[in-house]
Structure 1
């Protein structure tokens, strides 16, 4: 596996454009973040997520880079959806006792403006906390303060 990876990486380094090399660097730094933080999943490392939360809200910020852009050079809508789902999921998870978790049941997103600039920041807040479900809202902003998406999500509360 290491030899195959080494050959693949060498080929990319020799033939890749500056944008390709920037993407490789971002991906490898993301994997390194996952390893250093001893996380089970790659998504927060690959997207370079920075989290902060309090009792009432969760915020996740990600840098914008070529890996997350579509062919129009704006953030892919699926990345925006992942950011919303992640922030709302973390918010749900933080509210539950240790023996419970939350999984997404429904996610409704309204895309408002293109994701451009240096970073995106998502803020999630609980709308309803029941015994079996939670409803959470999320908003994504560009670093210039412009709101680019609004979402609500329903999360099932499950026993681990």
Structure 2
């Protein structure tokens, strides 16, 4: 595995453009964040997520870079949805007792404005906490403070 990875990495370094190498560097830094336990899962590391959580809300901030853009040069809607869903799910899971987890059952997202700037900030709050489901709301903001998306999610509560 290591030899194959070295060969792939050397080929990317040798043939990639400066833009390709910057993207590779961002992705590798993200994997390193997971390895160093700064983030719990690879996705959190690759997106360079910084989380703040308490019993009432969860906030996630990610730096924006061209690897997250769509072909229009703005943040891909799937990235926005992923970060909002992660904020909502993190909050839901944080509120559950040991041995239980929350998984997304339904995600509704309304895109309001293009994502651009230096960072994306997503904030989630509980709307309803039941014994079998939770409903959570989330919002995403760009660097200048403009709201770019509003979402709601329903989460199943399951035994781990």
Equivalent residue number for residue 79 of structure 2? 79
Equivalent residue number for residue 148 of structure 1? 148
Correspondence 1:9-158 to 2 at 5 A: 9-37=9-37, 41-158=41-158
Number of paired residues? 160
**TM-score under structure 1 length normalisation:** 0.97
Alpha-carbon distance between aligned partners in 1 of 2:125 and 2:65, rounded to the nearest angstrom: 27
Instruction: Provide the secondary structure at the position in 1 that maps to 2:136.
Output: strand
Moved over 3 A (4+): none
Contact 2:127 2:134 in 1 (8 A): yes
Contact 2:38 2:45 in 1 (8 A): no
**TM-score under structure 2 length normalisation:** 0.97
Alpha-carbon distance between aligned partners in 2 of 1:144 and 1:18, rounded to the nearest angstrom: 28
Aligned CA RMSD, in angstroms, stands at: 1.1
> Gaps (5+ residues) in structure 2?
none
> Gaps (5+ residues) in structure 1?
none
How far the C-alpha of 1:53 sits from its partner, in A, is: 1.1
